[in-house]
Amino acid sequence: MSFNGVSQPFNLQAPMAKIYTIINNKGGTGKTTTTLNLGAAMARLKKKVLLIDLDSQCNLSSALGVPHSEPHVGSLMLNSVGWDEVMHDHDSIKVVPGSDKLLEYEVMINSEPGREYLLKEALEKVQNDFDYIFIDCPPSLGIYSINSLVAADHFIVPMQTENFAFIGLDKILTVADKVKKRLNPQLELTGILLIRYTSRIKFGQAVVSNIESNTQIGKKILRTKVRQDINLMESSAFSQTIFEYAPKSRGAEDFMQLAKEIRKLYGEK
């Protein structure tokens, strides 16, 4: 294994990275914002972080100023390139870009034996080199999202606090449950993340109250809520994380709190 052309021995004693997939089968729910800034928060906590863009819209790659051309995550999954060829640096974070050609690659991936395991097999080669790996999924439950669930230890579902936001959640949880039973028994739901929350709007408060009182999903809501913050949108437009763009903003505060909550959930300091 080597980074930046420097050969490094594969350390069998090193702890493996915790792999999280950020998933929702709807667009505009904050998946990329969460992947980007939760990863950046972990990096601020001195953790080694890898981000993977599985979306053909390439929003994560664009938000980090990473070119989304060949090679990309699709060519990595098909084992046609090595990790050294596909990883980019942003600040202290490693990034594997997506591509608008991922839809074309989907045809080739679907023809591969064991197609659900391609990302998992690729990640096994670098899992000892990171503390956290976060995967940004496309707004669907197709082969890329299934690959992310098979590869992951945990998954997070970001949701906006708006009417009908939770329509489709049952489908996500059902698919994840099938993946757990058939393909990846280690997969666990970390929680549902409420994002773009504003306590000043009564409707938002009512939605959150309704969700938290739901006997099926109320206990799965993460304590941290990511508040509405224009800085979160502006930071990605300037190819920066919230911690680079506005380190004292509400968005930066919330994502740091989220990182600490997640670490605490799994007994980490």
Tell me if 157 sits within 8 A of 169, measured CB to CB: yes
pLDDT at position 218: 73
Write out the residue range of the structural domain in which residue 180 sits: 14-264
Say how many C-beta atoms besides its own lie within 10 A of residue 101's C-beta.
15
Residue 22 covered by a domain? yes
Residue 4 covered by a domain? no
pLDDT at position 253: 98
Residue 8 covered by a domain? no
Residue 3 covered by a domain? no
Ramachandran quadrant class, 227 (left: phi over 0; alpha: psi -120 to 50; beta: rest)? beta
Q: For the domain that residue 162 is a member of, what is the CATH number?
A: 3.40.50.300
Tokens of 3: 């980074």
Dist CA 30 CA 185 (whole Å)? 27
Residue 229 covered by a domain? yes
Residue 269 covered by a domain? no
156 pairs with which residues across the strands? Answer: 22, 191
| Structural element, H or E, at residue 211 | helix 202-212
pLDDT at position 3: 44
Total domains in the chain come to 1
Say how many C-beta atoms besides its own lie within 10 A of residue 250's C-beta.
16
Query: Which range is least confidently modeled, 51-60, 110-119, 201-210?
Result: 201-210
What does DSSP say about strands 93-96 and 88-90: parallel, antiparallel, or unpaired? antiparallel
State mean pLDDT over 235-260: 96
Residue 152 covered by a domain? yes
What is the maximal distance between C-alpha atoms in the chain?
56
Q: What are the backbone dihedrals phi and psi of residue 176, each rounded to the nearest 5 degrees, phi first?
A: -60, -40
Q: Is the pLDDT of residue 8 over 70?
A: no
192 pairs with which residues across the strands? Answer: 157, 221
Tokens of 169: 């959640």
Tokens of 228: 């509405």
pLDDT at position 70: 83
Q: What ranges make up the beta strands (E) of the chain? A: 2-3, 6-7, 18-22, 49-53, 88-90, 93-96, 132-136, 154-160, 188-197, 226-227
pLDDT tens string 126-175: 999 999 999 999 999 999 999 999 999 999 999 887 766 667 788 999 99
